[in-house]
Amino acid sequence: MMIVSRTPLRVSFFGGGTDYPDYFNRSRGAVLGMAIDKYVYISALRISSILDYRYRVSYSRIETVSAASEIQHPVIRSVIDHYEVQEALDLSIMADLPAKSGLGSSSSFTVGFLNLVAALQKRQMTKLDLAHQAVFVERELLSENVGVQDQYHAAFGGLNRFDFERDRTRLTPIQMTGQCLAALTGSLFLLYTGVTRFASATLEEQMEKTRSGASDRDLSHLLALTDQAVGVLEGIDPDRMLTEFGAMLHEGWETKKRLSSKVSSPQIDALYEAARSSGALGGKLCGAGSGGFLMMLVPLERQARFREALQNVVIIPIGLDTIGSTILAG
């Protein structure tokens, strides 16, 4: 029987950069973001021992190998080895949107694969377990230079604030009225920059500035915006909420660009300004920077002009995922 996991991608609104242990082990970190209705799917089929391979892995390439140690995909190889997966497997990976585009796809994949392995092994896993183990795989087993918000968004789903302080993580769901939530999710769009990148490669300068304390003022400002944005989202006037939230997104983007010279580029800045002049109230580049998707906030009454002005740009509306990583079959 085939087992399939589905795990959401995410957009981060505020606080990115404070979710790195280099920062929150000496200060308070917090992020605000949401899981979106775009997903990473991983299927697993137990295969017969009569085949001349033990693992078949299909993603942007196809691998057929006789031992887990021969698998080139680092997450799959490390998880199979660490969690002592015994079955011979045919694995297939699909996603609604491209990888390396700032939507947390690497962590979504890790969370989804851990969920899949737990289902194969009939192990009980809470969403907190999934997030913790994904952080362990990425930061400890693979030594990746990643923050720790993406794993939580992928595991839990929803629109949440996460607070990080040393070894403690606290989740706070954002309490929105139906009207305000509909206004928010009906106003969010992704604009594809056409550039993909490895997040860890763009973070070297940012992490050096974080470790030295050179970015503390900007990171403190992003943290303050996180605090303020929760109050804005939990208001009762949808129009006022969008206006204030859009202005804060713009302020946060201007601050984020100071974290590293590699966050943005002339091409990205030009697309962002075109989006703003076409009706977007604000936005930001998703993820670490250097490429991927811009997320823009565009109220309903401005969307026709927005689409007309940017008709040569790939524009993708996004909604809210409320479930998090889940097993669809098995």
Q: Residues 246-274: pLDDT tens digits?
A: 999 999 999 888 877 777 888 999 999 99
Q: Is the pLDDT of residue 99 over 90?
A: no
The pLDDT of residue 56 is: 97
Residue at 232: amino acid letter: V
pTM, 2 dp:
0.93
Tell me the pLDDT tens digit for each residue of 297-323.
Answer: 999 999 999 999 999 999 999 999 999
**Residue 49 binned pLDDT confidence (cut-offs 50, 70, 90):** confident
pLDDT in tens, 11-28: 999 998 889 888 888 888
Percent of the chain with pLDDT over 90: 75
Q: How far apart are CA 128 and CA 130, in angstroms?
A: 5
Query: What's the confidence (pLDDT) of residue 305?
Result: 97
DSSP string, 229-260: HHHHHTSS-HHHHHHHHHHHHHHHHHHHTTS-
Of 103 and 197, the one with more pLDDT: 103
Q: Which of 322, 299, 326 is nearest to 245 (CA)?
A: 299
The per-residue pLDDT for 205 is: 64
Each residue of 108-153: pLDDT tens digit? 999 999 999 999 999 999 999 999 999 999 999 999 988 999 999 9
Angle at 271 between CA 266 and CA 273, to 5 degrees: 90
Is residue 216 pLDDT above 70, yes or no? yes
> Where do the DSSP E strands lie in 55-204?
55-58, 62-65, 89-95, 159-165, 168-173, 188-192
* Domains of the chain by start residue, with CATH: 2-174+321-329 (3.30.230.10), 178-317 (3.30.70.890)
- For residues 107 and 154, the answer to whether their CB atoms sit within 8 Å is yes
Q: What is the mean pLDDT of the chain?
A: 92
18-22, 80-84, 178-182, 210-214: least confidently modelled range:
210-214
CB 89 within 8 A of CB 55: yes
The tens digit of pLDDT for each residue in 155-207 reads 999 999 999 988 889 999 999 999 999 999 999 999 998 876 555 555 666 66
At residue 217 the predicted structure's pLDDT band, cuts being 50, 70 and 90, is confident
The pLDDT assigned to 203 comes to: 64
CA dist 188 and 268 (Å) reads 18
**Bridge partners, residue 169, by sequence:** 164
What's residue 238's pLDDT?
98
The predicted pLDDT at position 258 comes to 83
Residue 289 has pLDDT above 80, yes or no: no
Position 222 scores a pLDDT of 87
| Spatial CA neighbour of 187 closest among 98, 298, 76, 328 | 298
Encoded tokens for 66:
């006789």
Distance (Å, whole) CA 32 – CA 9? 14
